[in-house]
Structure 1
Amino acid sequence: RADNTKINSKALMNVVDKINHSGLGNVFFASQGVSPQWSMKREHLSPAYTTRWDELPKVY
């Protein structure tokens, strides 16, 4: 069953990509929303944000 799901997912993404690259319109998943309300500011992101505890900001 997992192999079937993977094959179906890949086929679906190929169809979505073809539609989006055709110039006829854009298709997206409803879970993506219509327009993002916020986005993360990446200018303060550490390159090792998950592994370097000493780079985390300190709040007192």
Structure 2
Amino acid sequence: MTQNEIQIVLEIIIIGLGLYLAFIKSYREEKGKNLATKEDISAITKQIEGVKSEIEIQKDI
């Protein structure tokens, strides 16, 4: 293998690694956003259910 061929192989490896790392970074950021949204929805749902319960209690009085 010549030095030129080795350089080409290394460049391909570096480009592949860079693309892989970019994908992993964007994947993790998106998963973080999704988790935060899921937690927000859960908190809002609990608040709504609490208000519904209070309304039902007041209707019974």
TM-score normalised by the chain length of structure 1: 0.38
Q: More relative contact order in 1 or in 2 (CA 8 Å, sep 6+)?
A: 1
Q: Which has the higher helix share?
A: 2
What is the TM-score when the length of structure 2 is the normalising length?
A: 0.37
**Who wins on radius of gyration, i.e. which is larger?**
2
